[in-house]
Structure 1
Amino acid sequence: MGLCIEGGCLCGAIRYRATAPPISRSICHCRSCRRAGGAPSVAWSTFHVNSLVFCQGVPMRYPSSEDVVRTFCGNCGTPLSYRHVLDTDTIDITTATLDAPEQFPPTRETWIEHKLPWERLNESTRHYPRGGDGN
Structure 2
Amino acid sequence: MPTLSLPAEGGCRCGRVRLKISAKPLLTMACHCTGCQKMSSSAYSLSAAIPADGFEITKGEPVIGGLHGASKHYFCGYCMTWMFTRPEGLDWFVNLRPTMLDDPAWFTPFVETWTSEKLPWVTTPAAHSYVALPAFEEYDGLVAEYAGSQA
Could you state the TM-score of these two structures normalised by the residue count of structure 2?
0.81
Which structure has greater strand proportion? 1
Give the direction of change, closer, same or farther, for the CA distance of 1:79–1:89 in structure 2 (3 Å limit): same
Instruction: Say yes or no: does 1:128 pair with 2:130.
Output: yes
What RMSD over aligned residues (CA atoms) do the two structures have, in Å? 1.9
1:90 to 80, 93, 115: 93
- How many residues are paired up? 133
Which structure has greater helix proportion? 2
Give the % identical residues: 27
Tell whether the 8 Å contact from 2:113 to 2:131 is kept in structure 1 after alignment.
Answer: yes
Residues in 2 aligned to 1:63 and 1:31: alpha-carbon distance in whole angstroms: 13
Tell whether the 8 Å contact from 1:5 to 1:21 is kept in structure 2 after alignment.
Answer: no
Tell whether the 8 Å contact from 2:112 to 2:126 is kept in structure 1 after alignment.
Answer: no
Deviation readout 1:67-92 (Å, 9 max, x if unpaired): 11100111111110111111111110
Residues in 2 aligned to 1:104 and 1:116: alpha-carbon distance in whole angstroms: 21
Residues in 1 aligned to 2:81 and 2:131: alpha-carbon distance in whole angstroms: 27
Tell whether the 8 Å contact from 2:31 to 2:44 is kept in structure 1 after alignment.
Answer: yes
Instruction: Say yes or no: does 1:7 pair with 2:10.
Output: yes
Residues in 2 aligned to 1:59 and 1:43: alpha-carbon distance in whole angstroms: 19
2:33 to 24, 30, 33: 30
1:77 to 77, 80, 84: 80
Note the residue ranges of structure 2 that are not aligned, 5 or more in a row: 139-151
Tell whether the 8 Å contact from 2:108 to 2:126 is kept in structure 1 after alignment.
Answer: no
- Determine the structure 2 residue equivalent to 1:53: 56
